[in-house]
Structure 1
Amino acid sequence: MAAFDSRSIGDALARRAGILLFSGRGQDTPQPRQRLHLSPPHLAGGELATLSQTLSSGWIAPAGPMPAAFERAVAETTGFAHAAAVASGTAALHLAYRVLGVERGDEVWTQSLTFVATIAPAVQMGARPRFLDVAAESWTLDPNVLETQLRAAARRGRLPRAVVPVDLYGQSCDLDAILAVCGRWGVPVLCDSAEALGALYRGRPVGKGAALAAFSFNGNKIITAGGGGALVSDDPALIARARHLANQAKEVAPHYQHETTGYSYGLSSVLAAVGLAQITTLQARVAARREVFARYAAGLSGLPGLSLMPEPEWGHATRWLSVIQLDPRRFGTTPETVRRALESANIESRPVWKPLHMQPAFRGIRCHGDGLSNQLFERGLCLPSGAMSAEEQERVIAVLRSCCRG
């Protein structure tokens, strides 16, 4: 058996991270700069304590005091009366569709500019999606387009089972306007707030007022449990039903009794412990992300054809991701060229969400509106937005400025 060589393993891991360790050889070899990721996990410092508490208690499964404590923290943070902690944000959306009664052949409407998880569970249940455009002031669901489409749907006698606005990149949708429009026809609103924990809409937590809202604690989110999600509501019956389905829809009986089928969607105590330690840092993290955005705004000011994601007067975004738009004619370079330049500098960036109506999975389904979603995809670029020093962020700004040919 070969001898265990901790230095070799450490070197290999460091190379994967883009770091060259000093080994006494090749001292003149230039060191690659450490990679800047889009939104890497950020530990709060208290995770070990809550994890130790959980492991010492013997609770590992999705049961016991830690998931319950995390649910209480989520409910308090989001302003909703009830929360169910589940395995992922996608699981939360799936449960929401179930408790709202989505069935095969129903229509579910959402904005096209979003991640596929917004609509995927409904489609997998047999629902038919309808994609709507976004508003220029927020990049979220356009209430005017929604109203036009709902009015036409009412004339056809085929209203959607649910409307799902998305709080995109940490920015809230114009929820009151959406609720007012949907309320005229009795259509429930489910907020996909996966990217927006900590955002505010007219001074209240994002999603508050909708029938349900779904959040994500994936590794790239502003608060992470290493995975997981939550479904929240002010209606106790909806959350009780969601919990029941998340626990394999087991009935109260001495044997296993099932009136319907459910899912293994519970959040483990281990992940709940991580999330509980993280959630206490939310406000500081929102402030830090907004500071990152402000540094981009200052450092990129004056570049022709470059603009940043707007923030409407009714919202206070988390700036989970800082997103720019580039007009190639004025900036002198395409967003893809800029992305490649950033990658060459070991900096991760990514186009904005490819609109769902442009995805092969939804071929033939159009987007209703003026085409803004297409333009944002063609011109938009997400920049590193996590815990960065000002010096690290200057690396990003310097590449962007060097790419400008306007």
Structure 2
Amino acid sequence: MKRIYLSSPHMGEKEEVYIKEAFDTNWIAPLGPHVNAFEEELATYIDKPYAVTLSSGTAAIHLALKAVGVTKGDIVFCSTLTFAASCNPICYEGAIPVFIDSEPGSFNMSPHALQKALEDYTPKAVIVVNLYGQSADMDEIVAICNLHNVPIIEDAAESLGATYKGRKSGTMGTIGIYSFNGNKIITTSGGGALVCDEEETMKKVKFWATQAKEPERYYHHKEIGYNYRMSNICAGIGRGQLEVLEERIAKKKEIYQLYQSSFKDIEEIEMAPIYTKGESNYWLSVMTLQKGIGVKPLDVILALEAHNIESRNVWKPMHLQPVYADCAFYNHYEEGISVAEEWFNQGVCLPSDTKMTCEEQLRVIQIIRGLLGAVEQDLCI
């Protein structure tokens, strides 16, 4: 059977044109006209003054931490329900992560847990992760952080194109970051971006990302730098992808809505809520299973895998990871299992590939319905 992917690259019509232009003009190394154009087009799309395209979203978080002054021994708060790339750069700088739980209404950082953590620590920065395509409650989080004079790095790796009260995800913190990894809603093969309001921040990030080379005739370095800049070819792919972003969001929404309508008669299944304060980009459709029903996320994953269909668990919280076992964690609840652990224990990321046909999605749906003993449906939108 044809493989159905969780979320794979989906090329449009212009990427090849831009790549060919890069080859024809011999701009195949890092930097070049497509890099400049992609940065300008991305900044315009999100309505932010400056964007710096980089080799990965992880690189963007690393340089964001440096830009807000994080150094060895500093405390940095981070959402616990995320991929390790959100918090690993904290350790690159020798800082100490403290993990913050999610709130029940979404996958994202709990303002209540954040407030509790601020009673015990004065962090140098807070990394807020916007998960599975939708923004955290940024007004609440920004208000709390402003009260304590703490800068926010808004990790919008999964939420490009989403909004919060009309504002683009990734634009409400001190610095925002995006990922263009192959599984994201748009891709540059690999890559990321950092966005900010301050020209000085933009210039410093570009300086660090190009090995911190001083403006001398010879190679001269006063600071440690990094090889983090995006290539002109990758930027060409990104320009073509950005042109079809709204189409990809519309398709992702259709996929979510078909899952939602197809499972509405099964009380054991609930689709992850869409936050009412904004519009998701629906990057991944996530369903949760009721506790104690005899069917667990792994059962669903294995059943789909047997039919050559890719699905995955929800992110395993960082405070449960062995590498971060000694780090502090703040639960949304006063006691008992955390919200993030509940999501991890009960959630499944369903195939959300924008190349997936309606018929292919129905294959996924019928397998899950069968696993739960529900009758087959003949439904498509």
Please, which of 196, 205, 221 is the counterpart of residue 159 of structure 2?
196
* Matching of residue 47 in structure 1 with residue 9 in structure 2: no
Deviation at 1:194, TM superposition (A): 0.5
Please, which of 374, 378, 384 is the counterpart of residue 345 of structure 2?
378
Alignment correspondent of 2:313: 351
Report if the CA contact (8 A) 1:51-1:274 is conserved: yes
Q: Distance in 2 between matches of 1:127 and 1:152?
A: 17
Q: Distance in 2 between matches of 1:56 and 1:84?
A: 24
Q: Distance in 1 between matches of 2:302 and 2:259?
A: 19
**SS of the residue 1:84 aligns to:** strand
* Matching of residue 367 in structure 1 with residue 329 in structure 2: yes
Alignment correspondent of 2:95: 127
Equivalent residues in 2 for 1:301-320, closer than 5 Å: 301-320=264-283
| Amino acid in the other structure paired with 1:83 | A
Stretches (4+) displaced over 6 A? none
* Farther-moved stretch of structure 1 (360-369 vs 120-129): 360-369
Q: Distance in 1 between matches of 2:283 and 2:170?
A: 16
Report if the CA contact (8 A) 1:333-1:405 is conserved: no
Q: Distance in 2 between matches of 1:108 and 1:70?
A: 31
* Matching of residue 97 in structure 1 with residue 60 in structure 2: no
Q: What does the per-residue CA deviation read over 1:327-358, in whole Å, with 9 as the maximum and x for residues that have no partner?
A: 1424x311111111011111111000000011
Alignment correspondent of 1:10: none
Q: Distance in 2 between matches of 1:401 and 1:69?
A: 47
Q: Distance in 2 between matches of 1:143 and 1:137?
A: 12
Q: Larger Rg: 1 or 2? A: 1
Q: Distance in 2 between matches of 1:235 and 1:55?
A: 33
| Amino acid in the other structure paired with 2:25 | S
Deviation at 1:129, TM superposition (A): 0.4
Q: Scaled by the length of structure 2, what TM-score is found?
A: 0.95
Q: Distance in 2 between matches of 1:405 and 1:49?
A: 49
| Amino acid in the other structure paired with 1:373 | A
Alignment correspondent of 2:379: none
Q: What does the per-residue CA deviation read over 1:55-113, in whole Å, with 9 as the maximum and x for residues that have no partner?
A: 11111122221100010111112221100000011111111111111111001101110
Output the aligned Cα RMSD. Answer: 1.1
Equivalent residues in 2 for 1:308-347, closer than 5 Å: 308-330=271-293, 332-347=294-309
Please, which of 238, 258, 270 is the counterpart of residue 295 of structure 1?
258
Unaligned runs of at least 5 residues, structure 2: 375-381
* Matching of residue 275 in structure 1 with residue 238 in structure 2: yes
Alignment correspondent of 1:67: 35
Change (3 A) 1:366 1:160: closer
Report if the CA contact (8 A) 2:15-2:237 is conserved: yes
| Amino acid in the other structure paired with 1:137 | G
Q: Distance in 2 between matches of 1:36 and 1:50?
A: 28
Q: Distance in 1 between matches of 2:84 and 2:325?
A: 13
**SS of the residue 1:72 aligns to:** helix
Q: Scaled by the length of structure 1, what TM-score is found?
A: 0.89
Please, which of 191, 194, 210 is the counterpart of residue 228 of structure 1?
191
Alignment correspondent of 2:108: 140
Deviation at 1:237, TM superposition (A): 1.1
Q: Distance in 2 between matches of 1:279 and 1:367?
A: 37
Aligned length: 368
**SS of the residue 1:169 aligns to:** coil
Report if the CA contact (8 A) 1:88-1:227 is conserved: yes
Q: Distance in 1 between matches of 2:180 and 2:368?
A: 30
Q: Distance in 2 between matches of 1:189 and 1:366?
A: 19
Alignment correspondent of 2:128: 165
Equivalent residues in 2 for 1:256-271, closer than 5 Å: 256-271=219-234
Deviation at 1:366, TM superposition (A): 4.2
**SS of the residue 1:329 aligns to:** coil
Q: Distance in 1 between matches of 2:11 and 2:132?
A: 20
Percentage identity across paired residues of the two chains: 39
